[in-house]
Amino acid sequence: MTPSLDSARRRLLHVLVVGCAAGASAAAFAADKQLRIGTLVPKNSLYHRQLMEIGEVWRAAQGGKARYLVYPDGSQGGEAEMARRVRIGQLQGALLSVVGLREIEPTVAALQNMPLLFRNWEEVDHVREKMRPAMEKKFYDKGFVVLAWGDAGWVRFFSRDAAVRPDDYKKMKFFAWGSEPEQQEIMKSLGYTPIPLETADILPAIQTGMINVVPSTPYFALAGQVFSNAPHMLEINWAPIVGALVITRKAWDDMSPDVQAAVRSASDKAGVQIRAKARQEVDDAVDAMKKRGLIVHRPTPEQMREWDALAASLYPRIRGSMVPADTFDEVVAHLKAYRASVGK
């Protein structure tokens, strides 16, 4: 073998080895592509099904052996814990309500933590869409991409005993999110008794009498069987439960532009489905619970004025603590303009 031929063969062997190694690395990379999503929503619920549909689109577009895993039912902890897990890379994303989202970006609290401010879903949609670009930019700057916005109905009060006026609840013990100390302090200052817990603790706590009031949407009161131990519901639209699916910028940037476009389209559709169907499921859930013994209490106009007065007294306490002051003012301004435009 001549030196020149030997040298050429060695170079060819080197190219083949490097090429095979690169191919193996690419295959391993594809196999390692994962999106792990945490959420409190129940398995097989509307929300869970929409998450799985987004995942199927991502897996198909990603190709290879990409894996998409959803952890429902709060198996990854409460919302604050899930936000922490996303930050440290144990999860790549989460479907969270404002309770978890505000751990990432506090301004989002304006969509949920201003009781009796929104009169209907049209107002909620209007304000969210007005604030959405700036809000999503704030999430992006903090390392997160918002893929879809959704909601889960209006918060109603489910209690063991009948109650219709604000003062009726002062002798009761409320479930409160453990990650919202500001809310607990506000409640205490008004004479209410909050008991900080996580979602998984609600049912055993109400069964044992540790709490006897659960602010919840009808859908989750039905799914979690809360109404079985708290059969009295006050029909009042206290506040909307607003949420979003977020993933890390790292997970987003790992996708090619084509994959991003596919995921973005699927997420937009999922958000529309979640909002439309979830609102219908509120009424369906109430009807289902009524057939199983739920007692619905509707405030009289006089009692409603008491609730409105309570909400008005809360706003100065919420502004600047639970909701940043400038964001609070922005929401009020958007609502004022919207109501003027529709003649309300």
64-73: pLDDT as tens digits = 889 999 999 9
Residue among 143, 139, 169 nearest 156 (CA): 169
On whether residue 16 sits in a domain, the answer given is no
> What is the pTM for the complete model shown?
0.85
- Which residues, including other chains, have CB under 8 Å from residue 225's CB and lie 6 or more apart? 203
Instruction: Give the closest residue to 344 by CA, choosing from 127, 122, 151, 129.
Output: 122
46 C-beta neighbours (distance < 10 Å), count? 20
Strands of 67-71's sheet, edge to edge? 67-71, 34-39, 93-97, 240-248, 144-154
Average pLDDT over residues 106-124: 95
Residue pair 117/335 in contact by the 8 Å Cβ criterion: yes
Domain count along the chain: 1
Q: Is 200 domain-assigned? A: yes
Q: Does residue 323 form part of some domain? A: yes
> Considering only 174-183, 295-304, 305-314, 324-333, which range has the smallest mean pLDDT?
174-183
- Give tens-digit pLDDT for 149-188: 999 999 999 999 999 999 999 999 999 987 788 889 999 9
| Measured distance CA(95)–CA(112) in Å, rounded | 15
Residue 70 counted as domain residue: yes
Amino acid code (one letter) for 197: L
Give the pLDDT score at 282.
86
pLDDT digits (tens, 9 = 90+) for 50-106: 999 999 999 999 998 899 999 999 999 999 999 999 999 999 999 999 999 999 999
CA dihedral 110→102→195→74, nearest 10 degrees, is: 120
Residue range of the domain that includes 322: 33-342
Residue 20 lies in a domain: no
* Average per-residue pLDDT for the chain: 90
pLDDT at 26 over 60: no
Return all residues near 161 (Cβ < 8 A) that are at least 6 apart: 172, 212, 232
pLDDT tens readout for residues 254-281: 999 999 999 999 999 999 999 998 888 8
Both structure tokens of 40: 């409190």
Q: pLDDT at position 280, please?
A: 86
The whole-angstrom separation of Cα 281 and Cα 287 is 10
- Decide if pLDDT at 4 tops 80: no
Pair of tokens at residue 163: 């109650």
CATH number at residue 323: 3.40.190.170
Residue 284 neighbours by CB distance under 10 Å: 13
The H or E element containing residue 176 is: strand 173-177
Percent of all residues in the chain with a pLDDT value above 90, rounded to a whole number: 82
CA Rg value for the chain? 25
Least Cα distance to 233 among 295, 154, 293, 299 occurs for 295
- Residue by residue, DSSP assigns 195-210 as EEE-GGGHHHHHHHTS
Mapped onto helix, strand or coil, the DSSP state of residue 256 is coil
Instruction: Establish if 24 belongs to a structural domain.
Output: no
In a domain, 218, yes or no: yes
Query: Residue 326: inside a domain, yes or no?
Result: yes
